[in-house]
Amino acid sequence: MFIELFEQLGLSPNEAKIYEVLLSTGETSVSRIAVQANIHRRNIYDALNRLIEKGLVYRIFQSGEHLFRPVSPDKLMEMVKDKERRLVQAMPELKTMYEAEYHAEAAYIYKGVEGFKNYMRDMIAVGEETYFLGAKGLWYSPQVSTQFIDEFQDTARRKNFEYYTLYDPRVKEEMPLALEGVGGKWKLLPEKYATKGVVDIFGDYVVTFTSVGIGNFGDDGLIFVMINKELAETYKTWFRYIWDTCPDAR
């Protein structure tokens, strides 16, 4: 029932099966574990020793076959918090390493919902004025959690960077909540300029999307990322021209 969860928390498949058996049975022998977990006896001892090292199981010594008993599942939460604490401690050095590898020019592709989140993280990392051309209200895609977007917007407000958005004209009818929900200044492109594409510009980044729907990035969408200062400045200039010639600034 909880084997997949235990694996996600860092237990091996055999450890997860054994720990679940122990939770449901209490004090248990290796013989009984082998039957209930459907693991060969010779593989159980190694997994049990690892569980003991992790503090999730302890051995009860007795004459005959020893028994094994699980500790409270609270130990799992303690393990997660300990990993989080160690990651927080290491984060400054990890970021220093990452930034040291920064390349002034690059081109790559993000894919899927996790790629979309990475693009949003890039925007936060740059933290500069941002321009959205042909925007489709993708922040409201069902594949992206509201918590992620709320955290993004909170960080953007703290960093105090502005958005300028030229929305696809269909957004007004199909995703009106995006017009005010995204924030910043915005305009609607005229009806005849609806497209399937999106272009976002921030810092030295030019980011393009293709074949996205209104308010829906999709599960397998592609994001093409280009990092080049001159290219970004060119796109910003074009964006400002379109903005200046488009009516109804908000």
Q: Give the pair of three-digit tokens for residue 242.
A: 């379109």
The Cα-based distances of 170 to 95, 130, 176 in angstroms read 40, 21, 9
Distance CA 111, CA 114 (A): 7
Tell me which residue has tokens 């594949």: 143
Domain ranges of the chain: 3-71, 103-245
CATH class of 3-71: mainly alpha
Per-residue pLDDT 10s for the chain (250 aa) are: 889 998 988 899 999 999 898 988 888 888 888 888 888 888 888 899 999 999 999 988 877 778 889 998 899 999 899 899 999 999 888 888 776 655 568 899 999 889 999 999 999 988 899 999 999 999 888 888 889 888 988 888 888 888 899 999 999 999 898 888 888 899 999 999 998 889 999 999 999 987 688 988 888 889 999 999 999 999 999 999 999 999 864 5
pTM of the model: 0.61
The Cα-based distances of 153 to 4, 201, 212 in angstroms read 32, 17, 22
Give the residue from 201, 152, 199, 183 showing the smallest Cα distance to 250: 183
Do 103-245 and 3-71 fall under one CATH topology? Answer: no
| CATH number at 103-245 | 3.30.870.10
Q: Are 197 and 86 in contact, with CB atoms under 8 Å apart?
A: no
Q: How far apart are the first and last CA of the chain?
A: 52
Q: What single-letter amino acid sits at 3? A: I
